[in-house]
Amino acid sequence: MSYNMFGRALRFMTWGESHGPAIGAIVDGCPPGLELSESDIQPWLDRRRPGASRFTTQRREPDQVRILSGLFEGRTTGTPISLAIDNVDQRSKDYGEIAAAYRPGHADYAYDAKYGLRDWRGGGRSSARETASRVAAGAVARLIVPEVTIRAYVVEIGGDAIDRSAFDDSAIEANPFFCPDPAAAERWEKLIDDVRKAGSSVGAVVECVATGVPPGWGAPVYAKLDSELAAACMSINAVKGVEIGDGFAAARARGEDNADPMRAGPAFLANHAGGIAGGISTGQPVVVRVAFKPTSSILTPVPTIDRTGAETEISTKGRHDPCVGIRGAPVVEAMMAFVLADQKLLHRAQCG
């Protein structure tokens, strides 16, 4: 069974393949009366758009979103919001080779093993192009949580991390890497240029912080706020790890060092927990960190097999991102927005 929907009280279902006529999403459960137009969505899509700099894939997609339902006189009606984005710049012939052979690290073999067939054009449904639908749905979700500010940025590329002491909020949108440390951004420019020229790829770590989340969102035990965030982020293409707050570093700490003492306010003297305790928000910033692997699309030939099981090798010549984690930042933001909006509605349902 395939699942193409995310969310509980607020839900979105996405559809579409990399080289089909279009992609899109339906957002269901949106509260009525919110002002919404394409201009509320387009800027977020533009941030994620391919081809915006030489550091991302050279596929040129305008990613113009159309709202097909759920609006009346500029406001949401509470009925499903259908969002569509046309595919414009498909070049399926670039991908001819992958019709026959499996790209190791890609979904090619797993899809064939599951379904017995696959749309190999540009990766079909497994393409990162699907994340545009998430960004569009996330833009709607943002309207539901205006009290929350969400910011994602890249903290590490290929093992080269930012200097936390140089963190500059205003730098994030000033370079093509969503990098809050201008010096790191300069280093990364050279790094990605090298990687791109070598036909290689490199991984990255994205961090996302949501401020303004009131205490009490989330749930005990199974739809915990952190559990939902983990599911949301791990569902993004190329993601292999998710941390909340101190994450794996907390596993190396003593209880005394990991404590978040409280003072009147309530205020917290630390935020090792990343704003979540027992699955429920504490009122501190919600912090998630996400590991993106290097894309498996590289020029170096890799041993593989073809659909008949015979051994061969493959190198990827199609257009692709040398570092998918960069464009992952707007996607992580969108998923954070969606999870928080969903949890806000769920909290309201049970606790009024």
CB of 170 to its own copies, least distance (A): 25
Number of residues counted as binding its own copies (CB under 8 A): 153
Chain residues 238-297 in contact with its own copies, contact rule CB under 8 A? 239-248, 250-256, 258-266, 268-269, 272-274, 276-283, 291-297
**Residue 93 known to bind ligand:** no
Per-residue binder mask for its own copies (CB under 8 A), 32-61, x = binder = xx----------------------------
**Residue 297 known to bind ligand:** yes
Cα gap 317→333, rounded to integer Å = 30
CB of 43 to its own copies, least distance (A): 23
Beta strands in 273-337 (DSSP E): 276-277, 280-281, 286-292, 302-305, 311-314
**Residue 240 known to bind ligand:** no
Query: Phi first, then psi: what are they for 200, rounded to 5°?
Result: -105, -170
Output the 3-class SS for 16-46: ECCCCCEEEEEEECCCCCCECCHHHHHHHHH
Residue 74 half-sphere exposure toward CB, CA atoms < 13 A = 3
Cα gap 123→166, rounded to integer Å = 39
Chain residues 52-111 in contact with its own copies, contact rule CB under 8 A? 68-70, 72-73, 75, 77-82, 102, 104-107, 109-111
Cα gap 326→24, rounded to integer Å = 22
Q: Cα 204 to the chain's mean position, in Å? A: 13
With CB under 8 A as the contact rule, the residue among 36, 188, 201, 208 that binds its own copies is 201
| Integer CA distances (angstroms), 133 to 147, 261, 346, in order | 23, 40, 23
Cβ proximity to its own copies: between 52 and 250 the closer is 250
Cβ proximity to its own copies: between 174 and 277 the closer is 277
**Residue 295 known to bind ligand:** yes
CB of 346 to its own copies, least distance (A): 4
**Residue 80 known to bind ligand:** no
DSSP, res 306: B
Q: Are 46 and 23 in contact (CB under 8 A)?
A: no
CB of 127 to its own copies, least distance (A): 10
Cα gap 150→213, rounded to integer Å = 10
Cα gap 297→243, rounded to integer Å = 26
With CB under 8 A as the contact rule, the residue among 47, 118, 142, 319 that binds its own copies is 118
Cα gap 273→253, rounded to integer Å = 12
Neighbouring CB atoms inside 10 A of 233's CB total: 25
Chain residues 209-228 in contact with its own copies, contact rule CB under 8 A? 214-224, 226-228
**Residue 211 known to bind ligand:** no
Cβ proximity to its own copies: between 102 and 174 the closer is 102
321 binds its own copies (CB under 8 A): no
Chain residues 134-193 in contact with its own copies, contact rule CB under 8 A? 156, 158-159
Structure tokens at 232: 């949301």
**Residue 293 known to bind ligand:** yes
CB of 167 to its own copies, least distance (A): 19
**Residue 307 known to bind ligand:** no
With CB under 8 A as the contact rule, the residue among 85, 132, 162, 345 that binds its own copies is 345
**Residue 151 known to bind ligand:** no
Task: Give first-to-last CA distance, the chain, whole Å.
Answer: 35
CB of 83 to its own copies, least distance (A): 9
Binding residues for FMN: 125-127, 237-238, 278, 293-297, 319
Binding residues: 48, 54, 125-127, 237-238, 278, 293-297, 319
Binding residues for NADP(+): 48, 54
